[in-house]
Amino acid sequence: MSTILDLQNITTTVNVGTSEEKKILKNINLKLEDGDFVTLLGTNGAGKSTLLNIINGSLFPTTGKVILKNRDLTNLSEVKRAKYIAQVFQDPKMGTAPRMTVAENLLLATKRGEHRGLHLRGLDKHMDEFEKETAQLPNGLNERLNTFVGNLSGGQRQTLSFLMATIKKPELLLLDEHTAALDPNTSRELLELTDKVVREDKLTCIMITHQLKDAIKYGNRTIILNSGKIVLDVKGQEKKKLTEEDILQYFTD
């Protein structure tokens, strides 16, 4: 197994030099191996989303390094990291272009990390491929390839966001509670799709969730943050033995 992500002594301090100064992340050291599917848990304010933002480049660490496949990304912008890292957010409205069709959004996704001109070219030759890709998904997205994304349901839009994030296999996939805004049935469908794609495509993935049962069911590794520190990191057989009661003991100050 090769190391995909290496976080070295990451700290994040906000409101530096004021009475409101606060450390969000405290000396985080974390390595993800090729194919790791991590479910990430923690209380509100534990630093889960901050950790993902440090990885994706929307925040920079106060100290420490972000290494992806032996490349130092620490000072690289979010836009430049998008060549390697894909993310699906909690809000279905993020990650898609509402005034473009489903097919046009998918075409953009196939060009992630490439230089793009002002015009979309070659859409027609991709339609059969897009229909085949979306036919395997829930929500009837394959029948809405020419529908403007702004007219989709939340579930359809989030499913599209997930497909866009994975259609061009990223080196690292980040999922920030990507099913939290969906109804229970749609959430379950998207989680099952997530599990299938991550396993079959052997993606390296971090998925934030608040659902203990989902943290136990999915992935090969579970990490819990509490007050900006990693307080539990288990994988393999140790993770398989994990119960909800085991997890809850880490949710106290």
Instruction: Map tokens 């700290």 to a residue.
Output: 11
Q: Is residue 134 part of a domain?
A: yes
What is the DSSP track for 171-235? Answer: SEEEEESTTTTS-HHHHHHHHHHHHHHHHHTT--EEEE-S-HHHHHHSSSEEEEEETTEEEEEEE
Residue 165 included in any domain: yes
- Domain residues for the domain of 162 are 36-57+76-114+122-248
Q: Average pLDDT across each block of 10 residues of the chain; the chain has 253 residues. List them in order.
A: 94 87 93 97 91 96 96 94 94 88 90 62 82 84 92 91 93 95 89 94 96 95 95 94 91 71
Q: What is the CATH number of the domain that holds 198?
A: 3.40.50.300
- pTM value is 0.92
Helices and strands: H and E segment counts in the chain? 9, 10
Report if residue 8 sits inside a domain.
Answer: no
Residue 15 lies inside a defined structural domain of this protein: no
In a domain, 144, yes or no: yes
Residue 172 lies in a domain: yes
User: Is 183 part of any domain?
Assistant: yes
Burial (0-12, 13-18, 19+ Cβ within 10 Å), 169: exposed
Does residue 11 form part of some domain? no
Please tell me the predicted confidence (pLDDT) of residue 179.
92
Domain count, the chain: 1
